[in-house]
Amino acid sequence: MNAALLPLRRTGLCVALAALAACKSVGPDYELPKESVYAQQQDQPSQLDTGDAAGAAVSQDALPANWWKLYADARLDALVEQALQANVELKVAAARLQQAQARLAQAKAAGGWDFGVDASAARAEIPAETLLLTEKLPVFNLAEAAVSASYQFDMFGKFRRGEEAARADTEAVQAANDLARISVAAAVTGTYLEICHGNHELEVARHSLDIQQHTSGIVSRLQAAGRGTPVDVARAQAQAQVLQAAIPPIQARTLAAGYELADLLGMAPDQVPQDAMQCTEAPTLSQPIPIGDGAALIRRRPDVRHAERELAAATAEIGIATAELYPNIRLGAKAGANGLLDDFGKPATQEWSLGPLISWDIPGKGAHARVDVAKAGKQAALAEFDKTVLDALRETQTALSRYAEDLQRAQALQKARDLAHAASADERRLYLGGRRPFLSSLDAARSSNSADATLADAQAQVSQDEVKLFLALGGGWHGETVDAAQADAPHASGAGNAKSADAR
């Protein structure tokens, strides 16, 4: 009778084990909340207001990955590529990504099969009273060896949720890595442009100083010839000193940009590339800035992807906390021998065991509170996700507006500089011809010098606005071209459940 029931019992055990393995994970499956700002932007994307820059400085084309190549400057391209290879912050980000990947591998290995081997040998004396004897026992040579195997069932999905959380954390770290990459690319571009503009401003300042010193010489000679006054000489010399004083701050700012560039390249300050420091003409864009639309923007920005992956991880944490409320089930088997060394391996020393082990810490208020903490964490992550999306739109719109306004300002200053130059030349000719007082010529020269410096500063500001706009647009973290699957990563991952997240 017992022999006939044995196959049935084995079949029942197999069915039970299969049922355990197929149990559904507790906690919510992750999907992108429909009420999130991100989902709303994908359905009805915001249109970026280009203002007066539309058609002239920006376009609705898709942003290229390596946006700095739009400047068509081989030296800049080389600097950015060097920084992406040697920058210390990027090395730190890469190490953190490796840590996250190792944690993911650890989460994947949780649960399932465990194997063990134990072996020991000892010379020992066993207390007689443990065997209910009164006479002292002799010293024995003892040996023990066993092999064991066990399988821990993920009955309620604790380990699956842990893997989901670890995968989402890894993807969040990858997004942070991408954000560091575009920040480095933007910083290199910005410092290079600042060096170029700084050297140009130095040229302008030195040229203005040369003109003023030449004017001072003329005034001194005229005064010596009886056609001027000491006041005219003093005013001319004072203006020259003002222009001389403007040079050191520009030099200091340019050198500081060079030191920052060296740091970005993973070099000491005295190793700044000299070819970069000799740039005197900042490169300009070869085409209008391609900005795309709001939906593409938030799909592309790494900080948005980071916040979305943090939301996915927070959702998985609810399942982990909920699974703690249920029992742990492990099936194990052990076989070995334990006894006197002389008899080791004989039937009298052999032992084995097979059976399930169920452990359950009956959950109290603390365990339920951990579930509530995880749920609150998800709500906080969702709010942070929404805030990141809104900040991305605001930062981009702000950068775009400033770029448009500063571009208009630079264009107006260009016209003003040309008029000031013409007026200064006319006043100088009239003064030398004795038809205008020196003060008029001096004022015109001062206005011309000021127009040069103001225009150079405005042009530098436009270049920095361009870099800030590119940074806000979120490009530059991947390869040569934008991969649609990568660009849509938050939307795609949000459309599925935990099963689709595992497939990724």
Contact in structure between 322 and 397 (CB atoms under 8 Å) = no
Q: Are residues 351 and 234 in the same domain?
A: no
Residue 178 lies in a domain: yes
Q: Are residues 377 and 486 in the same domain?
A: yes
Q: Are residues 405 and 498 in the same domain?
A: yes
CATH of the domain at 354: 2.20.200.10
Residue 220 lies in a domain: yes
Q: Are residues 482 and 338 in the same domain?
A: no
Q: Rounded to whole angstroms, what are the CA distances from 258 to 439, 453, 460?
A: 40, 21, 16
Domain around 149: 114-153+328-362
Q: Are residues 140 and 190 in the same domain?
A: no
Last residue of a domain, which of 362, 386, 412?
362
d(CA 298, CA 487): 9
Residue 102 lies in a domain: yes
Q: Are residues 357 and 382 in the same domain?
A: no
Structure-block tokens of residue 361: 């810490």
Q: Are residues 269 and 215 in the same domain?
A: yes
> pLDDT digits over 96-155, tens only?
999 999 999 988 888 888 888 989 888 888 887 887 888 888 888 888 888 988 888 888
Residue 179 lies in a domain: yes
Give the number of domains in the chain. Answer: 2
Residue 204 lies in a domain: yes
Q: Which residues pair with 336 in a beta bridge?
A: 146, 351
Other beta carbons within 10 angstroms of residue 106's beta carbon come to 12
Q: Are residues 462 and 420 in the same domain?
A: yes
Q: Are residues 263 and 408 in the same domain?
A: yes
Q: Are residues 358 and 447 in the same domain?
A: no
Q: Are residues 174 and 245 in the same domain?
A: yes
Name residues whose C-beta falls within 8 Å of residue 245's C-beta, 6 or more positions apart in sequence.
none
Q: Are residues 200 and 257 in the same domain?
A: yes
CATH of the domain at 481: 1.20.1600.10
CA–chain centroid gap for 85, Å, is: 16
- 334 three-class SS: strand
Residue 379 lies in a domain: yes
Residue 27 lies in a domain: yes
Minimal CA–CA distance to 108: which of 60, 167, 49? 167
**pLDDT, tens digit only, all 504 positions of the chain:** 444 433 434 444 444 444 444 467 888 999 989 999 999 888 888 777 776 655 557 777 777 878 999 999 999 999 999 999 999 999 999 999 999 999 999 888 888 888 889 898 888 888 878 878 888 888 888 888 889 888 888 888 888 999 999 999 999 999 999 999 999 999 999 999 999 999 999 998 998 888 888 878 888 887 888 877 888 888 888 988 988 998 999 999 999 999 999 999 999 998 989 999 999 999 998 888 888 777 888 888 999 999 999 999 999 999 999 988 888 888 888 888 888 888 788 888 888 888 787 777 777 888 889 999 999 999 999 999 999 999 999 999 999 889 989 989 999 999 999 999 898 888 888 877 778 777 677 778 878 888 888 999 999 999 999 999 999 988 765 543 333 334 344 544 443 343 333 333
Residue 12 lies in a domain: no
d(CA 197, CA 189): 12
